[in-house]
Structure 1
Amino acid sequence: MQPFATQCRVEVRQIKSRVNRFSFELFTLISLFVVLFKMMKILVGLALIGMAASECRVPIKHYKTMNCNAIGGIVSECPTRFDCPSITQHDKSKCYFNGKTYELSAQIPNELVTPFCSAQCYCRSASPFAQFRCVHVDCAEFFSAINYDDCIRTYKPNSCCSSGTVCGKERKKLAKCVVNGDEYLAGQRMYPSSNKCLTCICHEGFSEANITSDPNCYEPTCGFELFYAKQAYNGGIPVYRDNKCCPWEWRMPKDTDKLVEKSGSRLSSDPALQCKYGKLAMNIGDTLVSEESNGFTYTCTCAIPPLAQCVMSKNAPL
């Protein structure tokens, strides 16, 4: 009996060892799966942001400026919607700029507002909510003329005022760049039509084919949170011009606004998939009746909630 009992104990220990090893391997696999799942979520989020920035043809620069989070869009080049805490959870006693929140009296670093010819922008109490107040910067060139046949003004990235003037023989020595078929000289600003959200500074060795990796090409920040916060965060929707990256203006709701529902559209049961505009609840694909003003036609659509967006197109001359 003793050998049999000993054999049983040995087999039991072996079984326990196998169970423990299996449990450890299972735990390791589960942990690995959790890590991979988290990495997948991060990669999908990054892919959505990159997708939204480079492929989506719907104007979304306002969402990027507001630091909104892209959601959905796996089977489309555009996100399904954006989550925008600065809109849905807006604190009326705080100011918002380029993804950051500022307390009352807090000041934006001057280097961040220099491109808007502004300085000393601070958050102050206002109605209906806190807004920024800035000092306007007047550049020296605003008050002095130059002979553009013989001179050029030069600029540095993200600047308001020019960094200098080059004339005569020195001007002829400057490197040349070609963008959109137009010729520029080193130091001049250029606006490639191939990417309307980039501004480039001409320099020696510039190639329009490499603008996305050129350190002298940059994507300017939109300044509407400095100057149009009352519209942007109070029910307005962005209005884009055909060839501009940032919203050109903001459209506020009107009592005369009329909705054109997308054919076969039914009101979504998910408020997150609707654009709220004044008294209207717009489904994705719904538009407002187009209107004309000052030689432009305004077309407004709920394409990517939570905000509808408009495009203003210049009318053909009569």
Structure 2
Amino acid sequence: MKAVFYLVALTLGSAWTDMAGECDMAGFYLELGCKAVPRADNSTSCPDAFQCPDLHPDPTMCYYRGVPYGDRSTIPQALIQNPCSQACRCSVADEPQFECAAVDCVEVFSGDTQQCVSTYELESCCSTGTVCGKDAIANLKTCEVDGQTYMEGERFEPKNSHKTCICTAEWNGSTDNPNYCRDINCGIEIHYQEKLLDKCAPVFVGDRRSCPIGFSCPTPTSRVVRGLNVRGVNSECVFGNMTLGVGDEVTSTERCTTCTCVVPPFVSCMMQSSCSDSTRM
């Protein structure tokens, strides 16, 4: 029976991986190495919950993709799946966290009166070139994506895909080609190491399929507001030392933000888009 369960989990996990851009929290959990919990009906609909590994077996160490790093240890760059995260090393003071080198991208060339298009490579953080002048730009291929037109070399993120892509002459509307599309890596463990340790809640704007813009953490005044578990999900969320059922909310001190147990085991928060520019996490 156990072997059958693992086979089902593996099969469904593969299907769910393809839906990271369609299912709430799927991209977040898959990046952390969590596994989708098979639904009771064995369907491939969006999972109700995930099962995550112990992200911090030793609270005095930093962890990235299950590998421990001691104080001042650096993650090999080849292992980091986010080109904007460079020279990241563990720092253990009050709490473990990774510190990375700042990457400054200068995509706007001041003083240039020509019309220019910044171009990118798939694994680059900043633009790697420019194409300037009406004639040169007119010779570029274009990609029509989600009602927008992108020039050859420009970067875009197709809706419901959790992918970042580069417009190329090969573009045919499919995001499965590794030559011009790759999975988005939010750098959650690198940028929010201590927040994961404290069992804080990721904060999203728009939907729970994008990268979190920050985390909301428990405070002495945090309390649980019981809600209705309409889906009958048995799994629970953890927020600091509090336990919530699906449908429960936890009070937040952040403006315009609602934090709810939707897809366990993390509580997740939604910030109204009208507040995202003015509210600091």
TM-score, with normalisation over the residues of structure 2? 0.80
For 2:263, the equivalent position in structure 1 comes to 304
Mapped contact 2:87–2:100 kept (Cα < 8 A): yes
| Counterpart residue type for residue 238 of structure 1 | P
| Counterpart residue type for residue 121 of structure 1 | C
Q: CA deviation at 1:217?
A: 1.4
For 1:61, the equivalent position in structure 2 comes to 27
For 2:211, the equivalent position in structure 1 comes to 246
1:61-119 Cα offsets, whole Å, 9 max, x none, are 222121122223242624343332233x532233222x231332442232454845342
CA distance in 1, matches of 2:266, 2:228: 20
CA distance in 2, matches of 1:155, 1:146: 22
Mapped contact 1:48–1:73 kept (Cα < 8 A): no
Q: Which moved more, 1:231-240 or 1:214-223?
A: 214-223
Q: CA deviation at 1:41?
A: 2.2
Q: CA deviation at 1:239?
A: 1.1
For 2:250, the equivalent position in structure 1 comes to 288
CA distance in 1, matches of 2:160, 2:34: 25
CA distance in 1, matches of 2:246, 2:238: 11
CA distance in 2, matches of 1:91, 1:148: 55
Q: 1:230 aligns with which of 187, 191, 194?
A: 194
CA distance in 2, matches of 1:303, 1:147: 49
Q: Does residue 1:259 correspond to 2:207, yes or no?
A: no
Q: 2:182 aligns with which of 218, 228, 243?
A: 218
Q: Secondary structure at the match of 2:272?
A: strand
Q: Which moved more, 1:117-126 or 1:255-264?
A: 255-264
| Counterpart residue type for residue 202 of structure 1 | C
Q: Does residue 1:84 correspond to 2:84, yes or no?
A: no
Q: CA deviation at 1:175?
A: 0.6
Mapped contact 1:48–1:79 kept (Cα < 8 A): no
Give the share of equivalent positions with the same residue, in percent: 28
1:228-251 Cα offsets, whole Å, 9 max, x none, are 211122121111111561111101
Q: Does residue 1:121 correspond to 2:88, yes or no?
A: yes
CA distance in 1, matches of 2:229, 2:127: 54
For 1:5, the equivalent position in structure 2 comes to none
Q: Does residue 1:46 correspond to 2:11, yes or no?
A: yes
Structure having the higher Rg: 1
Q: 2:110 aligns with which of 137, 141, 145?
A: 145
Q: Secondary structure at the match of 1:134?
A: strand
For 2:238, the equivalent position in structure 1 comes to 276
What is the aligned residue count?
A: 267
Question: Residues 61 and 126 (structure 1 numbering): CA distance in 2 closer, same or farther, change over 3 Å?
Answer: farther
| RMSD of aligned Cα (Å) | 3.1
For 1:96, the equivalent position in structure 2 comes to 63
CA distance in 1, matches of 2:151, 2:228: 52
Q: Which moved more, 1:149-158 or 1:251-260?
A: 251-260
Q: CA deviation at 1:43?
A: 4.2
Q: CA deviation at 1:252?
A: 0.5
For 1:131, the equivalent position in structure 2 comes to 97
Mapped contact 1:232–1:238 kept (Cα < 8 A): no
Which ranges of structure 1 fall in alignment gaps of 5 or more residues?
A: 1-33
CA distance in 2, matches of 1:170, 1:82: 49
Q: Secondary structure at the match of 2:150?
A: strand
More helix by share: 1
| Counterpart residue type for residue 286 of structure 1 | D
Q: Secondary structure at the match of 1:86?
A: coil
Write out the 4+ residue segments of structure 1 that deviate beyond 6 Å after TM superposition: none
